[in-house]
A and B are shown apart, each in its own frame.
Chain A
């Protein structure tokens, strides 16, 4: 079947109510006539034989010898892989990382490599549980290596970090010692969006706070325009410098993969269909879910969402030298996600889904919702933002001030103490970051429990720095008023109210663009 590209709909009298995500819920919204709606391209077909594609990529890499040639007896081989923050939702087993790792290990076994370790490149993310790691690498790999030779990266284990040097911009390059001292580091990635992959994998995924602070700061994030375009992102530029520096000291064989847009299981296919093509069953599903989820208690509602496994198909497997590989990867991501949009608008509307990279099997607290909306969705552009400078952004999310004590302990204090002082990223960076980053309790929880690092909520806030700087007004539809006020935003009961509230910024007849996502779409704004 022919795959239709993404396009921009203009709402007219014939347009039915449109689906909007709002955290752990859905809603159907009628948008004003003339509203532009950016629809992502339909799912591209996956490669017919994923295993064959992986084998071909390993045998015919870009700018690099075949992996088979790089393996030899007696060598130290380390395989690092992306953690559970991508893809979202989790993909149905077998995860593509499992397939790649199994082939790499098969080649390593054939070459007589004994010293192999696998490291989850979780940087300052929480440690994954054994079950979560097994979901990614598969039972066979898990049973062979867990726990001694398959483990989470620990960015606070000073003995197992190696400071390799500094870049010509004075940036510390410090990564996992085992990876740094290996004869070969194979990095296995899932490139869900254009932001992922490339030199963002090793220099960030296996780094320490000492290294991450050079690009994960308010100044750099503010000048990353956008995160989805690594050529115009200051954060990526820093990572690229570190990656190139690292490549002079360490042999890295990069394996990158791209997925299609099938981010929901078949039974929820209405979530990825265009509304005017919904069958009666789709309409009933959408309406039933929007009503049913609203009436459902929190726990089962959350379980429904977090149990979802996506039917992603692999659209590309690329391997070799990092940059040459990443060029191919980005082209593949763009084929699936890029949508041409003609000009900016006064108002950008987004509906935030239930999950972001940092609340898998957890709750999306207000900080993460802000990062998701103003950090990720706002940055889903190439060229210019979808919304004009000093325009308004309207987001759908309940912004419930609910925090996971297990996963996000430092977020609680960040929300109640730091944001009470200031919401300016530069101010809170200067005043509070060091304290949270070095707090021994947070470090302890990060290392021994499943907590995100103490500094992580700061990074989430920095992600939103560009959005906050660019926008004149931010309103959350359905958001908790107190939580929104704490973060310096406003909440509205309805979309109409939100438009009323932003009218002081954008006037009474603003142009509106609704980014219909997920699945992901990168707006190529001309």
Chain B
């Protein structure tokens, strides 16, 4: 009775190529199911070599790429504005750490393109080793295009590269939140940037990126249509005070980034008086709280008839997630109060 195939057919082949492509996110990054997050394989401590990306030919290629391709592309897809970049003129050749809020893949290219060329050519961007350096092609391309260097954000042995870079005269872009914000609000600042600054004895230039979350949040690979506004605002360099520990210094950095976001929507003066930025400790790294939204144009805008001091801080702990996203994605106002302090 050996009746091969007389009744039962061959095995069912299963999903189609299209379903396979969608399921495994071809063209995108493969995702780990939520319930498997705690079961991820530990990332090996392999140091991805990036020194070649800081050599002469790679720097030249990066300059051409950023100025001839990336910057026009950003201007074509967005409406970028930059403020405060003149602070780098006062720093001379001293290396600095540039810290910023992080809510979008636009952040690194926006920051790099906002920097003066002389500064940019000596600037590297720290990037998550487990994300940007998990495959060779991704590591090579990001190192070449943006001068990225891997840092370990899941613990393990810290990389010595960032410190060596600072000591070698390179500026470093660090996103102290460690990952892109899921709702546009500023997340908790980790202590790494402050620690690096104190260890290397360099200044920290805070920067606020506003509008990037609304333009291209997590999950998008291209900005939304309509050339949304995205602004970069640099602040004055900060240094640790006498007796100030890394936790307090990180809190000050976080508060300054928040204040810069508010300043971008109102004015320098108004930002000093804003309840969102009243206390340097609010939303600082040590606390673990999320800070006010700096992606939004509305977070600190005074409501008619009410002064800033009477507003509840935006993005306060416990605030509903939808409200944070709502604020972060609100389009910047077309007209805003004029102020002598406003540029």
Contacts and interface: CB of A to CB of B under 8 A. Distances in A.
Interface of A: 2, 4-5, 7-12, 14-17, 20, 22-30, 274, 276-278, 283, 287, 290-291, 293-296, 298, 301, 398-405, 412, 416, 477-483, 494
A24 B33 contact: no
B280 to A, nearest CB: 38
B226 interface: no
B3 interface: yes
A4 B39 contact: yes
Which of B7, B9, B12, B23 is the most central at the interface, judged by chain A CB atoms within 10 Å of its CB? B12
A96 to B, nearest CB: 28
A22 B20 contact: no
A7 B12 contact: no
A8 to B, nearest CB: 7
A492 B161 CA distance: 58
30 contacts: A2-B42, A7-B36, A9-B33, A10-B35, A14-B34, A16-B25, A17-B20, A17-B23, A17-B24, A23-B11, A25-B11, A25-B13, A29-B14, A276-B30, A277-B41, A287-B15, A294-B13, A295-B13, A398-B8, A399-B8, A400-B6, A401-B1, A402-B2, A402-B4, A402-B8, A405-B2, A412-B1, A478-B9, A482-B7, A483-B7
B17 interface: yes
A349 to B, nearest CB: 14
B23 to A, nearest CB: 4
A9 B33 CA distance: 8
Contacts of A7: 35-36, 38-39
B154 to A, nearest CB: 14
B320 interface: no
Given A9-B33, A30-B23, A483 B8 contact: yes
Contacts of A401: 1, 3, 6-8
Given A298-B5, A404-B2, A276 B13 contact: no
A10 B32 CA distance: 11
A404 B1 CA distance: 8
B11 A28 contact: no
Contacts of B38: 7
A66 B274 CA distance: 82
Contact of A27 (B1, B11, B30, B42): B11
Interface of B: 1-15, 17, 19-20, 23-25, 30-36, 38-39, 41-42
B12 A12 contact: no
Contacts, number: 134
> Which 5 pairs, one residue from A and one from B, show the smallest C-beta to C-beta distance?
A25-B11, A400-B8, A27-B14, A480-B8, A14-B31
Given A15-B33, A400-B7, 19 more contacts: A2-B41, A4-B39, A4-B41, A7-B38, A10-B33, A17-B14, A25-B11, A27-B11, A276-B31, A278-B30, A290-B14, A295-B10, A296-B10, A298-B5, A398-B11, A402-B1, A402-B3, A480-B7, A494-B12
A261 to B, nearest CB: 15
A294 to B, nearest CB: 4
Contact of B19 (A10, A17, A483): A17
Contacts of B13: 25, 27, 290-291, 294-295
Contacts of A295: 10, 13
Contacts of B1: 401-403, 405, 412, 416
A478 B12 contact: yes
Nearest to B36: A9
B6 A30 contact: no
Contact of A9 (B12, B17, B35): B35
B20 A283 contact: yes
B322 to A, nearest CB: 19
B20 A11 contact: no
A17 B15 contact: yes
A278 B30 CA distance: 9
A11 B31 CA distance: 12
A15 B9 CA distance: 29
Nearest to A287: B20
A276 to B, nearest CB: 5
B7 A16 contact: no
B230 to A, nearest CB: 28
Nearest to A276: B32
Given A402-B8, A405-B1, A10 B17 contact: no
Given A4-B39, A402-B2, A278 B14 contact: no
A451 to B, nearest CB: 14
Contacts of B10: 25, 293-296, 298, 301, 398
A294 B15 contact: no
Nearest to B35: A10
Contacts of B19: 17, 28, 30
B76 to A, nearest CB: 32
Contacts of B41: 2, 4, 277
A398 B38 CA distance: 36
A28 B15 contact: yes
Contacts of B11: 22-27, 290, 293-294, 398, 478
A96 B39 CA distance: 32
B24 A16 contact: yes
Which of B2, B10, B19 is the most central at the interface, judged by chain A CB atoms within 10 Å of its CB? B10
A26 B14 contact: yes
Contacts of B8: 398-402, 479-480, 483
Nearest to B4: A298
A486 B24 CA distance: 39
B29 to A, nearest CB: 11
Contacts of A494: 12
